[in-house]
Structure 1
Amino acid sequence: MKYTKHFSNTPNYIWRRKNLRRKQTKAEKIFWLHIRKSQLGYKFRRQFQISKYIADFYCHKLKLVVEIDGWTHIGEDQQRYDAKRHAEIESRGYTVIRYTDTQVLSETNAVLQDLQNHCTTLKS
């Protein structure tokens, strides 16, 4: 697979990424505990920069972006922004999966199984 670099770690983004890792939501913390250290067979990174965006979680091997949407993603303006962001990231050859905080907190096993299914599909 040919890899094209679509990100750069600009100083401003490095600070933002570190800050976002320190201030994870409860759902992001729980999700990370289940996927870190290649527990699903793939290495994921937290708060990874792709172009001008910072993805919640990213698997380089599969070009897979996972977003965990909390209450801040409810408003119309935010949903329009998320749709634009989603489309732009996918236009660069990445697959984007979205889960809500509620899904991660109340249906953790189902979310992890869905993620595993996506990983298996992308691998083949």
Structure 2
Amino acid sequence: MHITQILRKNQTPWEQRLRSQLRNRNINNLKFRRQFKIGPYVADFYCHDKKLVIECDGSQHLKNEEDKKRQQYLGANSYTVLRFWNNEIDDNIEGVVKTIIDNT
């Protein structure tokens, strides 16, 4: 089984909550793919039309060197990356959705 398939089957509660907002072209009629491979990395969500990556981050991402490398790779390849803390998704899903809309 490919890593993206494993990740899709084991989404976090925050990824599930955000997915419910992104699915069925709910945001500006855009399609978002989940657990999408970009180069050596896997994005939580990806919109090809806008080259937009969305990440749901927990506290393990606070000082993660691998996340810095990933961010540099995506930026160098002209991807826009939006990162949301899990507590933002819990406490302010409307604000998260508005930020996504504002960036599409």
Instruction: State the TM bucket, normalised to the shorter chain.
Output: over 0.9
What is the TM-score with the length of structure 2 in the denominator? 0.94
Separation in structure 2 between the aligned mates of residue 96 and residue 18 of structure 1, nearest angstrom? 22
Whether 2:1 is the aligned partner of 1:27: answer: no
Structure 1's consecutive aligned runs of 4 or more residues displaced over 6 angstroms after TM superposition are none
The one-letter code matched in structure 1 to 2:6 is: N
Separation in structure 2 between the aligned mates of residue 102 and residue 24 of structure 1, nearest angstrom? 16
What is the TM-score with the length of structure 1 in the denominator? 0.79
The one-letter code matched in structure 2 to 1:90 is: G
Tell me the alpha carbon deviations over residues 43-96 of structure 1, each in whole angstroms, 9 at most, x when there is no partner.
00000000000000000000000011013213x3x2x22111111111111111
The two structures, once aligned, show a CA RMSD in angstroms of 1.1
Residue in structure 2 matched with residue 101 of structure 1 by the alignment = 86
Q: Which runs of 5+ in 1 are unaligned?
A: 1-13, 120-124
- Amino-acid identity (%): 34
Bigger share in helix: 1
The one-letter code matched in structure 2 to 1:29 is: Q
Tell me the alpha carbon deviations over residues 90-119 of structure 1, each in whole angstroms, 9 at most, x when there is no partner.
111111110011101110000000110011
Count residues in correspondence: 103
Residue in structure 1 matched with residue 39 of structure 2 by the alignment = 51
**Structure 1, 31-40 or 64-73: larger mean CA deviation:** 64-73
